[in-house]
Structure 1
């Protein structure tokens, strides 16, 4: 590793950090050595392993309790779909799990906007229905895992609002989180309705 000047003279990468932590846990004393600026003697800094194990255990417990993502990472998520499909993949469900965890932890989230889209292939009626199926698949997953129904707003757009000339990019459902003070670009949306509801 390189030892430089300044307030942060030593930076460890992930692998080096792991090796050092494991050494401390085993009772070892990691040592950093550098040639002194003046004179020929080396300068050695040894890390003490005293009380490291309980502190490291507390740190791991803290990390385990963190949310899987922050607001900036999930405030606008995209769920892709295969051709003529409204089936969620395992990767989609992992992303939605992160969204659920965040929404349940952040009481300032006021709306979860779920917008279904399709590519331009097929009739407008079919695409409208398919986009609704895709949006409902996402919304129903969120609801089943604890997101309050009063927060979820579902909209189906068919082939309108493409984001790309590539058809695959347009076969999607987007999930957008809005917190207190945010302004939605669409204000005419109604609350969530299940596929079985009337009207």
Structure 2
């Protein structure tokens, strides 16, 4: 097993930072590896705490009387200089329970009121997003929304269009648009499962 010998913080940013990890690999050769993290200090890195707590949440939410539409956001992302379809999502604030974060973030991004479902914890525990680059982990929260769409709660940096997609539109999005991978897998369930939450049972 590789041995980590030194970690150096490379940046000072409020939402994500870069850390240089140095050590020896399985054949005792030196390695250098960069890790992006939501951690604000080295002590808070998961490489140090060995605890997987959710940095963020994403919301799988149905909408409408028949709950036959899924709530998506079409969001501009600097990393690709383009728009991508995602689920509404956001960061969990310090001391905040992640279901509460889901309700807050849904309202901030869409104006909608989110009602989380009670599901087996194995479906909503934090899972790592892109482990080759970052220690970030997010919890998925499942439920349904009501209310009117509003953009008035968006931050200055957010460029977001709310999309209420039926199954046909979800198929089109998968075929033709940029889609975040976590969103794509859940859209496949939405399209093909007769009962939208069947995969949670």
Fold equivalence (TM over 0.5): no
**TM-score class normalised by the smaller sequence:** under 0.3
Larger Rg: 1
Which protein is richer in strand relative to its size?
Answer: 2
Q: Give the TM-score normalised by structure 1.
A: 0.24
Q: Give the TM-score normalised by structure 2.
A: 0.24
Which protein is richer in helix relative to its size?
Answer: 1
